[in-house]
Amino acid sequence: MRRLRRLVPLVLLCPLSKGLQCDQYNKGIISGSACKDLCAEHTLLFQQCLSSSPTHQVYSGIWKEKEVIIKCGIEESFKGDGNPDSMPRRDVVLFDKPTRGTSMDEFREMLLSFLKSNLGDQTSLVNLVNKIIAMADVSQDGKLSLAEAKSIWALLQQNDFLLTMSLHEKEHTSKLLGHCGDLYITEKIPHTSLYTTDVPRFLQPLLPSAIHRVIHQWLSPAWPRRAKIAIGLLEFVEEIFHGTYGNFYICETAFKNVGYNDKFDFKMVDLRKVATAMTIRGFLKGRHCEQNADCTYGEDCVAACDKLMKQCKSEVVQPNLAKVCELLQEYLLHGAPADLREELRKQLKTCTTLSGLASQMEVHHSLVLNSLKTLLWKKISNTRYS
């Protein structure tokens, strides 16, 4: 009974998010481009809670009569007063920076220092700081109020938002539409798996892998559409290999984390499964290991273990491209045109065997990626599927 009582507040977190945001907005603690629509005009409406995690809330919603996704993160480190039934004081814990009296120049430096520690020291970060400030400046007066600054700072503490902001120029990520405090809104991706419909989660443990495969094949888009989606996924890998704001790694390569829109353009569904090179290096630095598996960030970002020093090395050994090609083997080979199948199989096999540090294999990586993309594009170009 005592254990059940401790779980109750976590379950209740999901439907209370709107009330928390509007209470803070009305008190002048937070700001954002969507606050008025959420709290005054009620044109931003919450629908179904899509998340099971109490620390990362995700909802479907309607904003100005369009379907959207609403996200709000509550960090696991938030503490209440020690009472398991009390709600975290988010206004105190989350919106504590910057403090009153912080100048715009000081806040710019705060942002730049934060981005350097998370994305690496790059000249392009000055441009990202400007974009972050422009987004935060809801009043569009060229300066930030304390509520505007606190809101954008709180948002940046969420890895998902930081990555959305860092990759928002890429056509293969969800468009960022607005925010209110640490709540933000993105476009809805219609298909959240590479297959038209995925096997329901409750059935997955009950079905043999062979049955999974058959169901996925039944629910696949037509092969040329799958080829178009795959080209988009390869383009995304290309974009993040040396991104505008650093290198990024996909650390859980699974059908459920990648999807597409109604035009069969690839879209990355869950950016929480993507990590910056800086984040992974920070995780690996000084980490004790006995084998390579001990040097794993997320599900499948693996570095080598120096067995002499008993410490993890700092770079991931399997590139994004190799993992993506493993994902695409079954997806593309099933139903592939007969005149393409053997060459496609050969190129995917070459791709899946790629390994080694990214800094040492850039040219080879590009050659393999472009060769596979060209093979697929030639088959569907000048057809209705292109």
Angle at which helices 277-284 and 104-119 pack, to 10 degrees? 70
Token pair for residue 328? Answer: 């695409």
CB 78, CB 93: distance < 8 Å: yes
pLDDT tens profile 70-90: 998 764 433 333 333 333 444
- The count of other CB atoms within 10 Å of the CB of residue 129 is 17
Segments in the chain forming alpha helices (H): 2-12, 17-26, 35-39, 90-93, 104-119, 125-136, 146-156, 159-166, 209-218, 223-241, 277-284, 320-333, 338-352, 362-380
Q: Is CATH 1.10.510 the right assignment for the domain spanning 204-380? A: yes
C-alpha dist (Å) from residue 145 to 100, 107, 191, 224: 10, 11, 38, 51
Rounded to 5°, angle at Cα 182 from 177 and 187: 25
162: amino acid identity, one letter: L
C-alpha dist (Å) from residue 117 to 114, 248, 275: 5, 14, 13
Q: Which residue has the tokens 């393999």?
A: 368
pLDDT for 21 equals 86
pLDDT category of residue 357 using cuts at 50, 70 and 90: low
Q: Across residues 97-101, what is the average pLDDT?
A: 90
pLDDT over 80 at 179, yes or no? yes
pLDDT category of residue 92 using cuts at 50, 70 and 90: very low
Coil, helix or strand at residue 281: helix
CA 311 to chain centre: 29
pLDDT over 60 at 105, yes or no? yes
pLDDT over 60 at 361, yes or no? yes
CA distance 27 to 36: 13
- What does DSSP say about strands 183-187 and 266-268: parallel, antiparallel, or unpaired? unpaired
pLDDT over 90 at 118, yes or no? yes
Q: Across residues 230-247, what is the average pLDDT?
A: 90
Token pair for residue 241? Answer: 């290999």
CA distance 136 to 312: 39
Q: Across residues 329-337, what is the average pLDDT?
A: 93
3-class DSSP string for 287-331: CECCCHHHHEECCCEEEEEECCCCEEEEEECCCHHHHHHHHHHHH
Share of the chain above pLDDT 70, in %: 82
pLDDT for 193 equals 85
| Residue among 157, 143, 137 nearest 106 (CA) | 143
pLDDT over 90 at 246, yes or no? no
| Residue among 154, 183, 196, 145 nearest 63 (CA) | 183
CA distance 348 to 59: 37
pLDDT category of residue 38 using cuts at 50, 70 and 90: very high
pLDDT for 216 equals 60
pLDDT for 199 equals 53
CA distance 115 to 98: 15
pTM of the model: 0.84
pLDDT for 260 equals 93
Q: Across residues 16-39, what is the average pLDDT?
A: 89
| Residue among 99, 97, 96, 73 nearest 20 (CA) | 73
Q: Can you say whether residue 306 is alpha, beta or left, with left for phi > 0 and alpha for psi between -120 and 50 degrees?
A: beta
pLDDT tens profile 259-296: 999 999 999 988 888 999 999 999 999 999 999 999 99
CA distance 146 to 162: 20
Among 63-67, 94-98, 184-188, 339-343, the least confident range? 94-98
pLDDT tens profile 7-21: 333 333 444 467 788
CB 5, CB 84: distance < 8 Å: yes
Q: Which helix (H) or strand (E) holds 176?
A: strand 176-180
Domain range list for the chain: 2-79+94-187, 204-380
CA distance 276 to 298: 12
CB 132, CB 111: distance < 8 Å: yes
